[in-house]
Amino acid sequence: MPTFRIKEAAGLLGVSTDTVRRWADSGRIETTCDARGRLAIDGVTLAKFARELAESGDHGEGRMVVAHSARNRFSGLVSRVVRDTVMAQVEIQAGPHRFVSLLSREAADELGLEPGMLAVATVKATNVSVEIPQAN
């Protein structure tokens, strides 16, 4: 299973490297060493943590989003894959964003989709809304 360096994990979670290091130092997220002996996070662990983080609404920086316009490509971690005989449901956690895709089982198998893998959710939509929350 892949491992992700602290900088990569921070980018995928949408937080700073300092935040990920604080979480690791406090034991909030488990770390390991990569093949070169550098601090890293296992892909499955990171995917589970990303899901928990998104569900909690705590994104580590203590700030609420006041403006945002998402782009159409979201790098994230595969957090869940459910396969049946014909279709597959794939969930990707990209920072606080969760994407669910339905695709053929054949496509999921060909891509080798498994939890903890790095993937990109590409979204094409005819309706995209932009919201700006009320300031406190």
Tokens linked to 63: 């700030």
State residue 71's pLDDT score.
57
CATH class, domain 3-56, is mainly alpha
Task: Indicate the pairing of strand 32-33 with strand 39-42.
Answer: antiparallel
Fold observed for domain 73-122: OB fold (Dihydrolipoamide Acetyltransferase, E2P) (2.40.50)
Q: Could you state, in order of their start, the residue ranges of all structural domains in the chain?
A: 3-56, 73-122
Please report the sign of the dihedral spanned by the C-alpha atoms of residue 2, residue 119, residue 93, residue 20: positive
pTM score, whole prediction: 0.59
Residues of the chain below pLDDT 50: none
Q: What is the tens place of the pLDDT at every residue in 51-65?
A: 888 766 555 555 555
State residue 50's pLDDT score.
87
Q: Alpha-carbon distance 97 to 71, whole Å? A: 12
State residue 64's pLDDT score.
57
